[in-house]
Amino acid sequence: MIEFAKKDFKKQVIPEKSGIFIFSGEDEILFNGITTNLKTKINFFLTKNPEDKTLFQIISLTKIVSYKETKTIFDAFIEQKKISEIPEYNRIIKPYENYVYLGIDFRKPPFFKATQDTQDDLYYLGPFTDRFFLYDLLDTMGILFQFPTCKDENFPCSRVKNKKCYGYCTKDPVEIFQVIRNSYLQPDDDLIKKIEKEHDDLSNELQFTKADVIKKQLEIIKKFYDLLKFFHVTKNLSIEFPEKEKSFKTENGMLSEIIENNRSGFIDRPEIEYRENEFLAFDKIQFPERWIIYQHLKKNERKIIDKIFKRSILKMKEKLEISE
């Protein structure tokens, strides 16, 4: 661990690598974090004048800054897990508070809602770190496929009258159920192929401005489908895998045990009971850990990830067929 006094910050050559960083006061750790770029993250903390009161307190109280470079963000995550005590300001800072879920009503408009929690009688996906991404997604699906993008519960609305929507609010509920299940709850390869063909046709016709718009819309949908695969896999991810001289166990997508030098370190976690309508949703606070573990295994254990994903799709369909 490399350590320096905060006042000597400008003299440091901090690597642009993954790692863990720690801000300490006189005799205690105030805050620790992990990042894919130590230089950028530490610069952000020490060179900005934060408007956030909590961040201002951290920087004001910091005397010593230390960091350790790691090969990957997963390695940094493991280093962070080895710290037995959670620092005071790690408990106070809650970046997940603004995360949202996509709540789905299969039966009536507005069909989709960005929600802060999963307490209503909806079917939930998430959490998502950016609610505006959800708005972009729903708008994109509406523009490209005339899927529902209802603004409220008043229907039929102007979009139906202007023929910008197929008017799902006036159709058989089974039809909208099938659209949502087949295009929002599992990746739809046919949709992707349709958009890619439209993009290629526009490019071949030298309509580059329109092609760029389609490209951005395609990126939004692909990002959503990447997240959707993550939601399907993470809560079903219970495996043990080796990593150099260590071994790790996950239980339902969260780290449960670190095995090193024939010694096991167990991680206690409170049990969370999820309802049927939370099959593709989990607690907001768990997002960073689940995402890091998933991305690491997606890169190194792709076959396992794909197998779990396919199994989850089948399980979801079975559950929804019963509820249908």
Which domains can be identified in the chain, with CATH numbers? 2-93 (3.40.1440.10)
Give the helix, strand, coil percentages of the chain, each rounded to 5.
50, 20, 30
Tell me, what's the pLDDT at 323?
Answer: 52
Longest alpha-carbon distance in the chain: 68
CB contact at 8 A, 239 and 307: no
Cis peptide, bond prior to residue 110, ω within 30 of zero: yes
Sequential pLDDT tens for the chain (324 residues): 999 999 999 999 999 999 999 999 988 999 999 999 999 999 988 887 767 788 889 999 999 999 999 999 999 999 999 887 889 999 898 889 999 999 999 888 889 999 999 999 999 999 999 999 999 999 999 888 888 777 766 777 777 777 777 677 777 778 888 889 999 999 999 989 999 999 999 999 999 999 999 999 999 999 999 999 999 999 999 999 998 888 999 999 999 999 988 787 888 777 889 999 999 999 999 999 999 999 999 999 999 999 999 999 999 999 887 554
Tell me, what's the pLDDT at 266?
Answer: 81
Question: For 266-322, how does the pLDDT look when each residue is reduced to its tens digit (9 = 90+)?
Answer: 887 778 899 999 999 999 999 999 999 999 999 999 999 999 999 999 999 998 875
Residue (of 125, 122, 107) closest to 175 by Cα position: 107
Residue 64's Cβ-count burial label (10 Å; 0-12, 13-18, 19+) is middle
Q: Which residues pair with 29 in a beta bridge?
A: 24
CB contact at 8 A, 270 and 251: no
Q: Residue type for 100, please?
A: V
Q: d(Cα 70, Cα 84) in Å, to the nearest integer?
A: 19
Q: d(Cα 245, Cα 300) in Å, to the nearest integer?
A: 16
Tell me, what's the pLDDT at 64?
Answer: 95
Q: Which residues contact 32 (CB under 8 A, 6 or more apart)?
A: 20, 21, 22, 23, 80, 83, 87, 90
Q: Name the strand (E) or helix (H) holding 135.
A: helix 131-145
Q: d(Cα 101, Cα 134) in Å, to the nearest integer?
A: 9
Tell me, what's the pLDDT at 76?
Answer: 96
How many residues in total does the chain contain? 324
Residue 320's Cβ-count burial label (10 Å; 0-12, 13-18, 19+) is middle
Q: List the strands of the sheet with 263-266, edge to edge.
A: 240-243, 246-251, 254-260, 263-266
Instruction: Indicate if the alpha-carbon torsion angle 4, 8, 12, 17 is positive or negative.
Output: positive
Q: d(Cα 47, Cα 12) in Å, to the nearest integer?
A: 13
* String of DSSP letters for 144-213: HH-----SSS--S-HHHHTTSS--GGGS-HHHHHHHHHHHTSS--HHHHHHHHHHHHHHHHTT-HHHHHH
Q: Angle of helix 208-234 relative to helix 189-204, nearest 10 degrees?
A: 160
φ, ψ for residue 50 (rounded to 5)?
A: -65, 135
Strands 112-115 and 100-104 turn out to be antiparallel
Reading the block at residue 105, the tokens are 């009503």
